[in-house]
A and B are shown apart, each in its own frame.
Chain A
Amino acid sequence: MLIYLFDNTFDGLLTAVFDAFFRHDEPGQLLTGGDALPLFADEVHEVKTDENKAGRVWAGLEKRLRENELRMITISWLSEDKNLNWPLFRYVCKVFHAPQDEACRIVQNFADEDVLTVTRIAEKVTHEAHRMLQFVRFQKAKDGTYLGVVSPDYNVLPLATDHFRDRFGDQPWLLYDAGRRYGFYYDTRSLHRIVFDGDENFDLRDGSLQGDMLAEDEMLFQNLWRTYFKAICIKERINPKKQAGDMPRRYWRYMTEMQKKPGSV
């Protein structure tokens, strides 16, 4: 079996597609450098990521697919899911194997395993991006910046920033992915990608700012929100299963209303 090895980047995957067509290969698996090779790996081709080649493949996709499907491909990539590599590789190959005007049709065949897998993963990522819009909680800092910390499974912050820009265009905010250790800062004019390196005072692992960094009335509104959250519940209908189903526990630790804080009523 012919194995393709690539560097687990999007450009790398597109380069792999380029190579497969250029070399008239039919690889049996697409793996990344760290993966163990399967037992019968008799031939290995190492893909050298090349922006130029990747760009040509992407341009080809742009010619063949519609906006929706292109977007789906980029979204699925944000999953950072290893199980996506091989189906996505085959998906892209299938697009190029089909006659040019047929390509945008074959990607609607959900009986095709690769099409279904890529679509499903993209759906999952979109779903989690929506959860950012739902569950991000901002705390107001002393300087007026609204800080929201999250730790999503997929790399979905880039999909959420447009929404927050549109919604909170007049307030500076900072959206931070604690797991991936990067974030986006919006200064009411433009968006900046930021990382904090080695600043020990700015520990965001538990997501809350220290007391002296908070705006004066921040605690009051947090308390009001927790009070509201408790009061809106109808005790006769308690249903923790539905609650956890719609709002999975992994998001709770950064959510104001789920944090137990002294002073809440």
Chain B
Amino acid sequence: MLSENVIEKLRILTESAKYDVSCSSSGTVRKGKPGMVGNTVGGVGICHSFADDGRCISLLKIMLTNYCMYDCAYCINRRSNDIRRATLAVHELEEIVMEFYRRNYIEGLFLSSGVVRNPDYTMERLTAIVRDLRTVHRFNGYIHLKAIPGASQELLNEAGRYADRMSVNIEIPKEESLKALAPEKDHRSVFQPMHLIQQGVLENKEDRGKLRNVPRFVPAGQSTQMIVGATADTDRDILTMSSSLYAEPTMRRVYYSGYVSVNTYDQRLPVLKQPPLVRENRLYQADWLLRFYGFNVQEIVDDRHEQLDLDIDPKLAWALRHPEYFPVDINTAAYEQILRVPGIGTRSAALIVSSRRFGRVTSAHLRKMGVVMKKAKYFITCRELNAGYNDRIMGVNEIPAAVLRQRLLSPAVQKQLAAEQQGTLDLGIE
């Protein structure tokens, strides 16, 4: 039976863990097993709730303790911060996980911890909990475990046998910026555990090829996160880092976390009225282009465009820079080409390719399939006559990019720009 002060501990340790944005419970399909509790569904995973900030709650995201020996400027749990500290007892945490899971509150556990004494000591305690959950509580749901930089390979190897996903956060894409904010860390300390995990996964794959019944090692791969807006690093720095990470065979997700000014007193950090939410969103869109739309990072950001356009999405921005690519003929172009049309997503692109075998796909069809014609119409042809005999074709090649860009801004942005021009809005953004 848990005591009442567990509620308070849970509150403290949740507030300490919440700035880690990773949330997914995807990547592994594992059926229920007799004698065990739970399964994992794979695919998109299951989000069980959405907090007031709109972020999904899939796993119980919590720290074992928020005491920490490091003093990283961007972190709420830094040593020099005067916040309430707590540590959950092992049995308390395990009971909460099991009981939450049985009530369908969560998909599993996302466990992290401040570094206490030394990395090995901390990692050992984390490992003990996941081992317990799997072997004593027979928990078969999802476990995402943070790897503590500097922990030994043996510990990571053991933890990886129980966890579905492991992660180490890069936090800052450029090493010199990282060193300025977290003098005790460098990129090596992050890449080393990443590398060890990857090695474990690849070796495990080989072993499983030879022998069946070898337990899987970190089957859902790795993820990481970068903080956006805490340093002067550009979107180009961030996305180049993401792209090189995605080239690694076990990296599944890179998360972007708009910096929330938690430690306002620190002179090294900017004071933001609001986390850079729009920029964060554009980064996610660019991330999607990298992973699902066949874009290269150089196509999204380059020397002349180091930052993403905040007013329009990165795919539209790319399309406006490359009118020579358009118009795309919906009825003949390859799937990959259709994917590049603004206003067409993976789903509608698949519908188009499937349907055009039976006859010509017209703009009316496209609309019904869910294509955003307001955007797409400037970039496609479907070999239709125009409504009026004298109407000229008006596409991205006929309209100057600047004019088209203006036309395709979202109503909210247009309104805001108009208001700015009138000088009625005093915005605190640079």
| Interface of A toward B, CB cutoff 8 Å | 105-106, 108-113, 116, 130, 133-140, 146, 148, 163-171, 217, 220-221, 223-225, 227-243, 245-247, 255-257, 265
- Residues 245-265 of B at the A interface (beta carbon under 8 Å): 258, 260-261
Interface 9-mer from B36-44, B200-208, B222-230: B36-44
Task: Decide yes or no whether B386 CB sits under 8 A from chain A.
Answer: no
Give the contact-size bracket for chain B: 35 or more
Give, as a whole number of angstroms, the nearest-CB distance from A133 to chain B: 5
Query: Are the CB atoms of A257 and B49 closer together than 8 Å?
Result: yes
Contact among A130, A224, A246 for B56, CB-based, below 8 A: A246
Instruction: Point out the residue from A217, A221, A237 that lies within 8 Å of B277, measured CB to CB.
Output: A237
Interface segment, one of B4-12, B161-169, B211-219, B312-320: B4-12
User: Which of B36, B359, B368 has the most chain A CB within a 10 Å cutoff?
Assistant: B368
Complex: A163 Cα to B104 Cα, angstroms: 12
- CB-CB under 8 A from B46, the residues of chain A are 130, 133-134
A265 with B7: in contact, given A110-B354, A167-B39, A229-B57 (CB under 8 Å)? yes
Taking the nearest CB of chain B, how far is it from the CB of A120, in angstroms? 9
* A137-B104, A169-B32, A256-B105 known; A243+B14 contact, CB < 8 A: no
User: Is the CB of B407 closer than 8 A to any CB of chain A?
Assistant: no
Q: Are A231 and B54 in contact (CB-based, < 8 A)?
A: no
* In the A-B complex, the 6 residue pairs with the closest CB atoms: A242-B54, A239-B54, A231-B14, A237-B53, A109-B358, A166-B32
Given contacts A234-B18, A241-B54, contact A225 B105 (CB under 8 A): yes
B99, CB-defined interface residue at 8 Å: yes
- The minimal Cβ–Cβ distance linking A231 to chain B, given in whole angstroms, is 4
Residues of chain B within 8 A of A169, CB atoms compared: 32, 34
B51 touches A229 (CB 8 A): yes
The answer to whether B351 and A110 have CB atoms under 8 Å apart is: yes
13 pairs from A and B in contact (CB 8 Å cutoff): A111-B358, A134-B49, A146-B102, A163-B41, A169-B34, A217-B1, A221-B96, A228-B60, A229-B49, A232-B55, A232-B61, A234-B18, A247-B49
Main secondary structure on A side of the interface with B: helix
C-alpha gap A112/B351 in the complex (Å): 11
8 Å CB contact of A243 from B15, B48, B52, B275: B52
Partner of A246 from B35, B50, B277, B358 at Cβ < 8 Å: B50
In the complex, whether B2 has a CB less than 8 A from a CB of chain A is yes
Given the contacts A110-B351, A170-B35, A221 and B100 also touching, CB distance less than 8 Å = yes
Task: Kindly state the separation between the CA atoms of A237 and B21 in the bound complex, as whole angstroms.
Answer: 12
Assembly CA distance A138 to B21 (angstroms): 27
| CB atoms of A227 and B103 under 8 A apart | no
- Shortest Cβ distance from A247 into B: residue: B50
Given contact pairs A105-B358, A167-B39, a sample of 11 additional A-B residue pairs in the complex whose CB atoms are under 8 Å apart: A134-B47, A135-B48, A138-B102, A170-B37, A224-B7, A227-B7, A228-B11, A232-B55, A232-B61, A234-B275, A237-B53
Chain A residues positioned under 8 Å from B38 (CB to CB) = 167-168
Chain B residues with Cβ under 8 A from A130's Cβ?
46
Beta-carbon contact of B102 and A111 below 8 Å: no
Per-position binary interface string of chain B over residues 117-141, scored 1 when its CB falls under 8 Å from any chain A CB and 0 otherwise: 0000000000000000000000001
Q: Which residues of B contact A148 (CB under 8 A)?
A: 104
Do A232 and B18 have beta carbons less than 8 Å apart?
yes
Residue pair B100, A233 in contact (C-beta under 8 Å): no
B50 touches A225 (CB 8 A): no
Chain A nearest Cβ from B415, distance in angstroms: 17
CB neighbours (8 Å) of B1 from chain A are 217
Alpha-carbon separation in the docked complex, A256 to B106 (Å): 12
Q: Which of A166, A171, A228 has the most CB of B within 10 A?
A: A228
The 8 Å CB contact of B274, one of A236, A240, A243, is A236
> How many Å lie between the Cα of A169 and that of B46 in the bound state?
18
For the complex, is B91 an interface residue (Cβ under 8 Å from A)? Answer: no
